[in-house]
Structure 1
Amino acid sequence: MKRVFILVLDSFGVGYSCDAKKFNDIGANTFGHISEYCYFGKANDNRFGTLNIPNLMSLGLGKIYYQITGNLPLGILQPVNVISNYGFASEISTAKDTSSGHWEIAGVPVLFHWDYFVNKNNSFPEYILNQIILEFNLPGILGNCQASGVDILKDFGELHIHTKKPIFYTSSDSVFQVACHEKYFGLNNLYDLCIGIRAILNKYNLNITRVIARPFVGENACDFVRTGNRKDFSKPPHQKTILQKLIEEKNGHVIALGKIADIFDNLGITKSIHAVGLTELINNTIQQIKSAVHNTIVFVNFVDFDSIWGHRRDVSGYASGLEFFDQQLPKILHALYDEDLLIITADHGCDPTWPGTDHTREFIPIILYNKFMKNNYFGHRKTFSDIAQTIAKYFLLSSMQYGVSIL
């Protein structure tokens, strides 16, 4: 029985990549800086001491880091034996956003350029805003700027409740984000609004990656929090992904956990499971390992590493998340069947020590684990799409256009 489990530690980069200069990211290092902060006692909020991730280290994470930097991560014990195949990859997509990273993992790199809303204030074109207000009979809008998701609620959340005006904002990524209160605006109303905005952007040929619904709750600026009902309305991949190939060529199954289905606009997905938070995602992953059938890909995105800890520059939170994931890894490994292929990787970096709140252009780790694989370093891969090509070979599918199989 052949099954593949792809676990994306969203934003877990392992050192700045060869083209990081283009992105002003020379020196960024998500893994390295987290381990450094822990070693020097600068990441002790609700945790303490050096970064404790022995299971990830036994899968080759430390050796990956050494191959990239020539150093071992500070304060982390090195295992006697490594039990998996391991290496790292560069991204060839033109951007460092979530969609580009995941699509490239699935064999479809983004070699064109996305459109962006580059103005920090008055970010969205007036003709777009006017059409949205007209079509949805809105009393107006708030925000219209580049902002972090936490700050925007403090600035406009109370006014939103009083006026019912939705909050529009963007970032350095190609996104149009809409924050609305679940109770006072309504969750379904927010989703409908985002679907309409997606259609309007498409109508005007604006190549924006995602329209993101950002629901929140709370009564005032002191207690506003975003809920787990986020939904992304994405552009569809521009070519056939490995997910679609498995379904079409092997009558296979693709089970998406977390925000994976949204990222791929539900193309190449046979079942989507809504799960929020690290614990729930890990539990659902283990359940799928126990129940998934032949010719199945289970694709999981652990978004908290990026959205809660990376973007918010929370080193202690990121370290705690890694340690919790590491503690659960033995359960995941134990549940695997003999022929299963486990892939642990990332989609970009988001160094929580780096200036600003944006993603960072970094190498991603690639860990390939199978119960009968011997430990092997497979080197620096030139594109994330080597993952998709590896999956194609594993399932005996037709080859992808990009990438070289690691197997």
Structure 2
Amino acid sequence: MKKRLIVIVLDGFGIGAMEDARLARPGDENANTLRSILKDYPDLKLPALEKLGLMNAYGEESDFMKFSPEANFGSCGLMHFGADTFMGHQEIMGTLPKKPEVHPFQEKAEAVKKHLEANGHQVQFIQRQGLRYLLVDRFVTVADNLEADLGMCYNVTAPLDLISFEEEYAIAKKVREVVTVGRVIVFGGTGNTMEDLWNAEEVKQDRFIGIASAKSKSYEQGYQCRHLGYGVDQKVQAPTILTKAGFDCTLIGKVADIVSNEGGRSISCVPTQEVMDLTLQETKALNHGFLCTNVQETDLAGHSQSTFAYKRILEIADQGVSRLLPELTSQDILVIMADHGNDPNIGHSKHTRERVPLLVYKKGIQGKCLGQRNTLSDIGATVCDYFGTGAPENGESFLPFLKD
């Protein structure tokens, strides 16, 4: 009989500010992604997520979505610092987050330039409004990431018609060697040009300069991406633990770009319909193992500060969940969650530090309250517990709650 544990991460779908938001991220104490969407679209209807307990986790009903008495639900806090997709997913997989340093790229530009030049690369400064970033080998920009917490990530961006992703990735690895921020993100797409990158250039707070990801046209065609993290050890994460124990592990969507899965199968894609279609397809093909999917376009809607786009993507994801549920047996577990918030009405385009919903479906198990979990790592711990392997570095299994 099949035995599968499936996790769907609705990227950036928070349900209310973390208790520490006022101190940890001033301005986020009023963040609530779901509340903002419901305020603008009170007629929002997500029948599959409603059935699984979305409003139970949220703590309020709307006119069109109610509490579900059959739901198994709770919420998860963020143990990682800030509100970050990369570290959120490392935490989900069982990593105990370590605090990176925060530096505007201005503070590291000279050191990065020297290191790249010492390794044979052609490097020049691009200067705008008293700030500077790097152009490497004519087509690769190295600058601040403007979507995550400012100063915590750097982007390495290039049009992949002009330089190969492998060449760009080699540059990013050299950047990673000399910086201590949380992530170095290397990405690009085909069909765009250097002119598109220049047109996507932005300055924030007079201290940070970079290429705005969504405006760079990198996502539109031939998108490739890798994330190089700070203090992340794949050996203590669920995918590595499971595949070494002989279980299958499949990662779909953005999680395929940011979580190591050397022994498993990783499928990178962005469009939500494709992501959900692949999730259904891979679930049917999986016999014993773990599948994790990331719906990235919810997060992109938050970055675009569009509640309408957020609503539309949630509806597509909800339809995908409704198609998935009939495929699940009594031996399967489905988890719906998020990695942080991204309140489209908060007044900025960054992530927001919010608790996230934890919705768990197991056929025959109903009405279980999983409580307020302290860390996203409880998912990784539960996955390993379910398959009887060694535990990851962090987290506490909620499997005991799912018993009759």
Corresponding letter in the other structure for 1:114: P
> Number of paired residues?
368
Of 392-401 and 210-219, deviating more is 210-219
CA distance 1:76–1:195, change in 2 (3 Å) = farther
Aligned to 2:35: 32
Q: Please, which of 270, 281, 286 is the counterpart of residue 276 of structure 1?
A: 270
Distance 2:271 2:382 in 1: 29
Matches within 5 A, 1:182-201: 182-183=160-161, 185-186=162-163, 188=164, 190-201=165-176
Distance 2:49 2:25 in 1: 28
Distance 2:52 2:25 in 1: 30
Distance 1:244 1:363 in 2: 27
Aligned to 1:403: 395
Q: Please, which of 138, 162, 183 is the counterpart of residue 209 of structure 1?
A: 183
Matches within 5 A, 1:3-402: 3-21=4-22, 22-24=24-26, 25-39=28-42, 50-66=43-59, 71-72=60-61, 74-78=62-66, 81-110=68-97, 112-118=98-104, 122=106, 124-133=108-117, 135=119, 137-138=121-122, 140-142=124-126, 164-171=138-145, 172=150, 174-183=152-161, 185-186=162-163, 188=164, 190-202=165-177, 204=178, 206-215=180-189, 217-218=191-192, 225-227=217-219, 228=221, 229-235=223-229, 237-238=232-233, 240-249=236-245, 251-267=246-262, 269-294=263-288, 296-306=289-299, 308-402=300-394
Q: TM-score, normalised by structure 1?
A: 0.82
Indicate if the aligned counterparts of 1:313 and 1:357 stay in contact, CA closer than 8 A: yes
Q: TM-score, normalised by structure 2?
A: 0.82
Shift of 1:145: 9.7
Aligned to 1:151: none
Indicate if the aligned counterparts of 1:97 and 1:173 stay in contact, CA closer than 8 A: no
Equivalent residue of 1:36, what SS? Answer: helix
**Sequence identity percentage:** 24
Distance 1:193 1:76 in 2: 48
Corresponding letter in the other structure for 1:369: Y
Indicate if the aligned counterparts of 1:174 and 1:210 stay in contact, CA closer than 8 A: no
Equivalent residue of 2:236, what SS? Answer: coil
Distance 1:144 1:206 in 2: 24
Shift of 1:218: 4.0
Equivalent residue of 1:317, what SS? Answer: helix
Distance 1:357 1:376 in 2: 35
Distance 2:227 2:372 in 1: 33
Of 6-15 and 84-93, deviating more is 84-93
CA distance 1:317–1:137, change in 2 (3 Å) = same
CA distance 1:182–1:393, change in 2 (3 Å) = closer
CA distance 1:282–1:379, change in 2 (3 Å) = same
Indicate if the aligned counterparts of 2:254 and 2:270 stay in contact, CA closer than 8 A: no
Distance 2:69 2:276 in 1: 23
CA distance 1:106–1:55, change in 2 (3 Å) = same
Distance 1:136 1:351 in 2: 43
Aligned to 1:43: none
Indicate if the aligned counterparts of 1:95 and 1:113 stay in contact, CA closer than 8 A: no
Shift of 1:58: 1.0
